[in-house]
Structure 1
């Protein structure tokens, strides 16, 4: 069984490890033994634990899951040349990772929150010789898509990486609207969850415009509500959200 070495033990590292633990041995390098033990308990399987100071990554397959601001600091604590580094760091370029970590190869990845339920939409880019392996590795936590440039990955970060937060806002707002009109909170929440579950299946094969037209009959309830969304500039706000998040990804 192959070993995946995680550097960092935060929520994203744990989510990815949960998807990989059945088929890979998990090693985790962190700063604090107590946090490593907590990681192991939450993962539910025995892991190899290493403290970060002067730890070797020679020849290892590394999942790099630290905060972007800590790349330089962490790199100074590691020894050896990794076989490949898979980085989940937003806005951190292949060049910066290669310069600081000095691995044989680098693949940037951008999973999202849904990794914890094996439904992440993970985008990838980097050294082409690891494209197939990257699909296999990150495919354990959901869908994957290889992109041809780091710019495209940063745009995808704004869409899929940040997207769960945007959808959560919309989900909460729709449920609040139903409560405002007199629906009980628990009923509103359950109906909203059912809505998102079913819609998630439909959107896989049907264009959003076609789905919209299939629901919105002339002069009907959906048309009235849709008009309110347009009046509130929801479409423009969503487009602007992607632009702002993309710009921020480039700044990190």
Structure 2
């Protein structure tokens, strides 16, 4: 099996590593030995652990998972030239990566936290020579989509990268609404989870508008609830959320 080297040991690195650990050897580089040990424990598999200072990345397959603001500092502490560098840093351009880290090729990737359960929606762009390898790598943690430009991956970051937070808000709100009407909390949560599980399968093959029309009968319960969502400008708020998240990605 190939070795994948993670630079950074935060939540995103752990989520991706959980998805990759059955198909790749995992090496992790960080600043703190205790945090590296905790990473290994959470991953529940033996890994190679290394401290950041003067770590040699020569000919390694790197997944960069540090904070965007730390790119310059981290780059100064690495030596050698990686075979390929995959960056999961939101809003961090290929040019900035090339300026601060040495690699033969660069690819930007935007997975989400569902990587930990093998269900990430990961978008990719960068060196087209690594398109097939990038798709194979990130298919290990879910679905992938190669995009034509960095602008598109910044938009995709707002949709798929940040999307779990938006859906979590909607999920919580729906459960709260059921509790308000008298449903027990544990029942409301169980039903909401079943709803999302089934919807996730349906949306793969059916356009959202057709799903909505299929549920909404004239004068029925769905029509009444849907009207309330429109009154609350939910559609407009979702569109604005994507716009603001995209703009923020370009500012990082």
Q: Alpha-carbon deviation of 1:45? A: 1.2
Whether 1:146 and 2:146 are equivalent positions in the alignment is: yes
- 1:71-150 equivalences under 5 Å are 71-150=71-150
**Does the alignment pair 1:16 with 2:9?**
no
> Which residue matches 1:223?
223
2:176 is aligned to 176
Distance 1:37 1:28 in 2: 10
Question: Distance between the aligned counterparts of 1:158 and 1:203, measured in 2?
Answer: 19
Q: CA deviation at 1:154?
A: 0.2
Asked whether 1:198 is paired with 2:198, we answer yes
> Residue in 2 aligned with 1:158?
158
In structure 2, the partner of 1:7 is: 7
TM-aligned CA deviation for residue 44 of structure 1: 1.2
| Other-structure match for 1:57 | 57
CA distance in 1, matches of 2:205, 2:153: 23
Give the match's secondary structure for 1:143.
strand
Matched with 2:47 is 47
Tell me the SS of whatever aligns to 1:46.
coil
**Offset, 1:102:** 2.1
Count of residues in Structure 1 that have an aligned counterpart in Structure 2: 252
> Structure 2: how far apart are the matches of 1:2 and 1:178?
48
Counterpart contact for 2:119–2:142, Cα < 8 Å: yes
Of the structure 1 ranges 201-210 and 33-42, higher mean CA displacement relative to structure 2 is found in 33-42
State the TM-score, normalized to the length of structure 1: 0.99
CA distance in 2 between partners of 1:145 and 1:26 (Å): 24
In 2, Cα distance between equivalents of 1:38 and 1:102: 28
Match of 2:35 in 1: 35
Residue 17 of structure 2 contacts residue 116 of structure 2 at CA under 8 Å; is this kept in 1? no
| Aligned residue number for residue 250 of structure 1 | 250
Deviations 1:99-150 (CA, angstroms, capped at 9, x unpaired): 1002111000000011111000000000000000000111110000000000
| Aligned-partner SS, 2:140 | helix
Following superposition, the deviation at residue 188 of structure 1 comes to 0.7
Computed over aligned residues only, the root mean square deviation of the Cα atoms, in angstroms, reads: 0.6
In 2, Cα distance between the equivalents of 1:64 and 1:109? 10
Structure 1: state its 5+ residue gaps.
Answer: none
Tell me how far 1:51 sits from its aligned partner.
Answer: 0.6
1:178 is paired with a residue of what secondary structure?
A: helix
